[in-house]
Amino acid sequence: MPTYSYECQSCQHVFDAFQYMSEDPLKDCPECKKEGSLKRLIGPGAGFIFKGEGFYITDYRSKSYKEKAKSESQSSSTSSDTKTSKTST
């Protein structure tokens, strides 16, 4: 059941209400009891994170792209190892 935020236009009271999506929006303020003064606020929504295989853009790349990316990452790690060993001597 979604949570909706409301603000009273008269007394600026802000509160959250659990409602079914099929229910009509609330209209009366529970604080000042004024009828028709509530406004439903737009919330940020729910954040979610995709984890695991199949969600990252490279999972849908061709085999040749993946092989090229793998070889580039290996060559860059090899060159950084070489630089590290040169500076430490």
> Contact at 8 Å (CB) between 19 and 42?
no
Nearest Cα to 16, choosing from 30, 32, 33? 30
72 beta partners: none
Mean pLDDT (the chain) is 79
What's the whole-model pTM score? 0.48
Q: Give domain limits for the chain.
A: 3-41, 57-88
Per residue in 41-79, pLDDT tens?
887 766 677 776 666 665 667 788 878 888 888 877 665
